[in-house]
Amino acid sequence: MFADVQPQWSLDPAQPIAPQIHRILRERVILGDLTPGHKISETEIALSYNISRQPVREAFIKLAEEGLMAIRPQRGSIVTKIAFTAVHDARFLREAVESDIVRLLAARADPALVRELRRQIELQRDVASTRPANFIHLDEAFHRTLAEGAGKGGAWRVIQGLKAQMDRVRYLALGQFPLNRLLTQHIAVVDRIEAGDVPGAEGAIRVHLREVLRDLPVIVGSHPELFDGVPDGELPEPLNAPFTGGGNT
């Protein structure tokens, strides 16, 4: 499994090893390269990278804390299924944080930031139909730029640590749903920020971040074996109605 390490998953010996191992494994789980139920061996990873088991063990512990891995002493650790409730919780928390972020941005619209966001949107447009995985990377950059533009880079880093299960769903959705819909929503967010429309910007980001709930029932239905904790019977109704309120809700 780890005999041929791809360039993007190689180690920089000048940097701390445990965080790199954590990043590599986390990315492979989120991308679906390591699927639920896949057994992962500390020894195998350590040998493949020619490192000791200690940094691998540290990475495993952090992955377990994020709900991406179950550590089973003497039996081998495995990749967990996607936690259904964690997807909903991450979406809820992300919406709460990012709605306040765009309210701050719209209240004092920065032309330089708007230009940068529109530049990123053009990059997204270029890859939306041909390189969907690249779109997700650009989407991450877009939301990080919003947070940093509001002086909330620390809040974005907290969100990053909470939304791993949500990101797994996003990659599963690649190829099933039109990315142009997300692109249009990004444009709406930036338009409202540029116009100084505080409630409009908040409404636009809420609609955008609820998109995952629109798609979730279809994704779960297509890949039920990858999910854990799905309620019996029908899935909850997706929150896809437009946001119409003003101020925080």
3 state DSSP class of 80 = coil
Using one digit for the tens of pLDDT, what is the confidence trace for 190-221? 999 999 999 999 999 999 999 888 888 889 98
Which residue shows structure tokens 């909850």? 236
The torsion angles phi and psi of 78, rounded to 5 degrees, stand at -130, 155
User: Rounded mean pLDDT of 14-35?
Assistant: 93
- Write out the CATH class of domain 12-79: mainly alpha
Contact between 127 and 134 under an 8 Å Cβ cutoff? The reply is: yes
Residues 6+ apart with CB under 8 A from 33: none
- 52 falls in which pLDDT band (50, 70, 90)? very high
- CATH superfamily membership of 83-226: GntR ligand-binding domain-like (1.20.120.530)
At 72, list the tokens: 């089973």
- Sequence ranges of the domains in the chain: 12-79, 83-226
- 8 falls in which pLDDT band (50, 70, 90)? low
Nearest-angstrom CA–CA distance, 66 and 45:
19
Using one digit for the tens of pLDDT, what is the confidence trace for 142-191? 999 999 999 999 999 998 888 899 999 988 887 677 788 999 999 999 99
Q: Lowest-pLDDT range, 25-34, 69-78, 237-246? A: 237-246
At 175, list the tokens: 């190829």
User: Rounded mean pLDDT of 97-123?
Assistant: 97
Beta strands 77-79 and 39-40: pairing type?
Answer: antiparallel
User: Rounded mean pLDDT of 53-61?
Assistant: 95
Q: How far apart are the first and last CA of the chain?
A: 47
| CA 112, 118, 119, 121 torsion-angle sign | positive
pTM of the prediction? Answer: 0.82
Fill in the DSSP letter of residue 4: S
Query: What is the pLDDT at residue 110?
Result: 96
pLDDT exceeds cutoff 70 at 246: no
pLDDT > 90: what percent of the chain?
64
